[in-house]
Amino acid sequence: MESNAEKLRGLTITSLDEEDDEPELPHRSPPASGGGGGGAGYEDDEEEEEEAEVTLGFLEKPKHPGLLLRHLFPSKAGGIPAWLDPVNLPSGNSRCCDFCGEPLQFVLQIYAPIEDNAASFHRTLFMFMCPSMACLLRDQHDQWKHRQGNPCRSVKVFRCQLPRSNAFYSSEPPKHNGSDKPLCPGAPVCHWCGTWKGDKICGSCKKARYCSEKHQTLHWRSGHKSDCLQLISSSEASSSIIPAVGKVPASKSWPEYEIAIDYEGAFDSDSCDESNSKSLVMQRPGKPDDMILSWMDQFEADADNKCWASFQERVSRAPKQVLRYCREENAKPLWTLSAGCPSNADIPSCSYCRGPLCYEFQIMPQLLYYFGVKNEPDSLDWATIVVYTCKGSCDQNVSYKEEFAWGAG
């Protein structure tokens, strides 16, 4: 019988109606993933819809680092990315903050294949962010300008997908018994950040690789200066001189966690329905006076208060959630305030196929706690960051397609 850890290893959500004896494969898709709707998601519908089934993500320390390797298709946060396509990584300006120009830092990745899309048998979403709060504030300002051209971004999300038969992985599901191996090595990555392709080489030792001049400088100052001299004088490079990528940047990346998942419906809510707030007032004996009626009108008109109350009630069901995922047709994000959320017109079309985008997931502020971000004036902070992806999950001739993120402070 499969353990809970085995079931939660990847964010490969299946329908609740599936039979228990059906084998679990790594290409399971989120519920109703073929649809994908929910534009911006705040406008109230006149007709009451059935609430979409939301999957929550929680962070756990991995029992073994080997569980988060790319050929096991993990969902993870922090550390370095487990690239799905390990060769054709994002390059150029796409891997940098558009404001400060620094390489972006890995936040998390979600393994979310689409069951009825052969091109998305394997599908992973990767989120990166500039750790500067100043850049994030500028990002949240510029995200409203997308209709005036491509806005500058400090938060970027990439979608990568592969068919079942591909050059990188076996067509059979992982066995998780230590025998799983990728079919080919990945591109060499930066020895400082361990994230981006190392297309720059140390001019002295010709061994160390970097994604940027800044990371080369930081690595030099942190100890490569002496290592480089040893490499030059040595007849052959020793692994003890240049540590393996993944160990070098550990202190410069956010702590690494596995993302475990559970349905939001599994958590009970003790709160009363927000629609009952008005009826509770009306239960007072006698006719409500003018003051009560005025208060009720003010409550109904204050969309921000209602939005915040709804956010608090939903999050209180599972306070440790760092991720909310749902790609169902009627899925909508959970906003803290109505004033800062986009309308449908504010969500652009897919940059590749020009088709519509749909809501897929959002990250929550609790992630900052797990990453050890300090509560200081200049520290990184957000209420939520909502990600919209191509509704058709188009398969254009680009390995990593940039999707759209909307930040709310």
pLDDT at 13 over 80: no
Alpha helices in 302-408 (DSSP H): 303-316, 366-370
Question: Helix/strand/coil (H, E, C) string of the chain?
Answer: CCCHHHHCCCCCCCCCCCCCCCCCCCCCCCCCCCCCCCCCCCCCCCCCCCCCCCEEEEEECCCCHHHHCHHHCCCEECCCCCCCCCCCCCCHHHHECCCCCCECEEEEEEECCCCCCHHHCEEEEEEEECCCHHHHHHHHHHHHHHHHCCCCCCEEEEEEEECCCCCCCCCCCCCCCCCCCCCCCCCCECCCCCCCECCEECCCCCCCEECCHHHHHHHHHHHHHHHHHHHHHCCCCCCCCCCCCCCHHHHHCCCCEEEEEEEHHHCCCCCCCHHHHHHHHHCCCCCCCHHHHHHHHHHHHCHHHHHHHHHHHHHHCCCCCCEEECCCCCCCCCCCCCCCCCCHHHCCCCCCCCCCEEEEEEECCHHHHHCCCCCCCCCCCCCEEEEEEECCCCCCCCCCEECEEEEEC
Q: Quick: pLDDT tens for 199-214.
A: 888 888 888 899 998 8
Q: What is the mean pLDDT of residues 3-7?
A: 43
Question: Helix/strand/coil (H, E, C) string of 297-320?
Answer: HHHHHCHHHHHHHHHHHHHHCCCC
**Quick one: pLDDT at residue 375?**
86
- Quick one: pLDDT band at residue 85, thresholds 50, 70, 90? very high
**Quick one: pLDDT at residue 339?**
83
pLDDT at 246 over 50: no
**Quick one: pLDDT at residue 165?**
96
**Quick one: pLDDT at residue 217?**
86
**Quick one: pLDDT at residue 11?**
44
pLDDT at 86 over 70: yes
Task: Please tell me which of 39-48, 79-88, 138-147 the model is most confident about, judged by mean pLDDT.
Answer: 79-88
Give the SS3 label for residue 74.
Answer: coil
Query: pTM, whole model, 2 decimals?
Result: 0.81
Q: Report the percentage of the chain scoring pLDDT > 70.
A: 74
**Quick one: pLDDT at residue 51?**
80
Q: What is the mean pLDDT of residues 312-325?
A: 96
Q: What is the mean pLDDT of residues 380-386?
A: 96
**Quick one: pLDDT at residue 19?**
42
The CB density around residue 319, as the number of other CB atoms within 10 Å, is 9
**Quick one: pLDDT at residue 226?**
76
Sequence spans of domains, the chain:
59-189+245-265+291-408
For the chain, what is the mean pLDDT? 81
- Quick one: pLDDT band at residue 150, thresholds 50, 70, 90? confident
Lowest mean pLDDT among 45-54, 249-258, 392-401: 45-54
